[in-house]
Amino acid sequence: MGLHGAKASGAGGVVDLLNVDFEAIGPVGSTAAQNLEFSAMAAANTFTDLLPYLTVNNGSIDITAPGALGDVSGDNIVNSTDALIILTYDAGSPIPPAFLARITAGFGNVNSDNFTNSTDALIILTYDAGVQVPFPIGDPMCPPGNLASSLNAVPSSGALLKTEKKIHAFAESGAAPIAPGQTATVPVTIDLTGFPASGSSDEKLGSFTARLEWNPATLQLLNFSGGKTGGFENPVVNDLEAKSGKLTVANANPYGAKGSVNILNLRFKAIGDPGSSAALSLSFSAMAAAYTFTDLLPYLAVSEETLTLTAETQPGDFTLENFPNPFNPSTEVYYQLPRESEVEIAVYNVLGQNVQTLVKERQAAGKYVVRWEGRDEQGQPAPSGIYFLQMRAGQFVAERKLLLLK
């Protein structure tokens, strides 16, 4: 490229002559040099030849692998796994050097405040849940040249494990057939009990991105709440398509949770015709382990729920039962209401202290099922021993003795 110019009055100081935009088309790892030469240069007014006094500094551009803003794992996808890595980094826990290099290069600084922290993780979770965010997540970005070489070897999110064990995920109410107008509570659970294999340390759930779908002509979503397992109580939920029977949820916990992890709880009302079936589909687009960042999707088995609608008559009495008993690690609580009531069901220890409240809301007449996972309000496992299950509904009070074995 050649250029020339002249200005009779001249210009002093630093003079901007030309700005050029280039598109990188060479292979990754190559260097593109820019060589600048002058054949003439003179001063205004005096016409002094300036070439003898000229020093030229040529530049170069290192061509690096493409990257996307928010992709700190280097897998070319921005999802809840990246949020988990950022939260782990922000909590001061160690992360693989390659992930740290991408954070240092700015891939995690999605809000451009020059910090990579929990705010960036929240923005990524919101983006992954399908909610629009005012930041260019996923857009191509160029890391600083002095850091480019450290980004060449980025591992995948964890290595494959040699195990035949499966992780089970399910959205199951455990309810008997329900009549139109009745409600059902559906907990969504990921069970990592015994994973990856006996004799080795169990993996902990660190992050996930899930999608639930149902037929809005048979089921109406009334409300939802976060998981009851500690660290997963506050997911990012996109309910913009709930009236169309779609819900997307994402969450990340840098400390993780093992065993049976409750990630979400949904409450539906049956609005279909008697005899129809209401299917609830659960799928995952991302799931990673805490600390190791192992991709857990290859080991996942998902069970789907189908609620059958019947013309069943309303219960005649209040009842409270549970099964199994004794149990480990969870028990199903079955109860029925002959009329609409304010219901409270809670578990107490032998000292009369509240361990966990399972239900506290006004409910329509009908049959219900709720699960106690053997945990307290903070999501911590309760010790083995005797507990008491108490139900209050208006003037009705019932109590059952529970035995948790470990």
73-82, 266-275, 301-310: which has the highest mean pLDDT?
73-82
pLDDT beyond 60 at 363? yes
CA distances from 394 to 223, 307, 324, 401 (A): 23, 28, 27, 21
Q: Which neighbouring-strand residues pair with 345? A: 359, 391
Weakest mean pLDDT among 61-70, 140-149, 223-232, 385-394? 140-149
**pLDDT confidence tier of residue 198, bands split at 50, 70 and 90:** very low
CATH of the domain at 47: 1.10.1330.10
What was the pLDDT predicted at 312?
A: 53
Query: Residue 366: which pLDDT band, with cuts at 50, 70 and 90?
Result: confident
- CATH number at 378 reads 2.60.40.1930
pLDDT tens sequence across 321-353 = 998 899 988 899 999 999 899 999 999 999 999
Among 312, 338, 362, the domain-final residue is 312
CB 373 within 8 A of CB 357: no
Q: How many domains does the chain have?
A: 3
Domain boundary among 312, 340, 362: 312
Q: What is the residue-wise DSSP string for 316-381?
A: SS-EEEEESSSBSS-EEEEEEESS-EEEEEEEE-TTS-EEEEEEEEEE-SEEEEEEE-SB-TTSPB
Shared domain check, 100 and 201: no
Assess if residue 239 is contained within a domain: yes
One domain for residues 97 and 201: no
Average pLDDT value for the chain:
86
Average the pLDDT over each of 40-54, 188-202, 388-402 and give the range with the smallest value: 188-202
Task: State whether 124 and 180 are in the same domain.
Answer: no
Q: State the burial class of residue 234 (Cβ atoms within 10 Å of its Cβ: 0-12, 13-18, 19+).
A: exposed
Note whether 38 and 152 are same-domain residues: yes
Q: Which of 261, 293, 312 is the last residue of a domain?
A: 312
Query: Do the domain assignments include residue 10?
Result: no
In a domain, 80, yes or no: yes
Name the nearest CA neighbour of 270 among 178, 385, 176.
178
Query: Of 95 and 21, which is predicted with more confidence?
Result: 95
> Is 278 a domain residue?
yes
- Claim to verify: residue 40 and residue 140 sit in the same structural domain: yes
The reply to whether 197 and 300 lie within a common domain is: yes
Specify the CATH number for the domain of residue 222: 2.60.40.680
Q: Retrieve residue 104's tokens.
A: 């240092």
Neighbour tally for 384: CB within 10 Å: 13
- Cα separation, 265 vs 263, in Å, equals 7
Q: What are phi and psi of 213, to 5 degrees?
A: -135, 145
Regarding whether 182 and 85 lie in a shared domain, the answer is no
Query: Which residue type occupies 260?
Result: S
Residue 1 lies in a domain: no
In a domain, 130, yes or no: yes
Q: Which domain holds residue 169?
A: 160-312
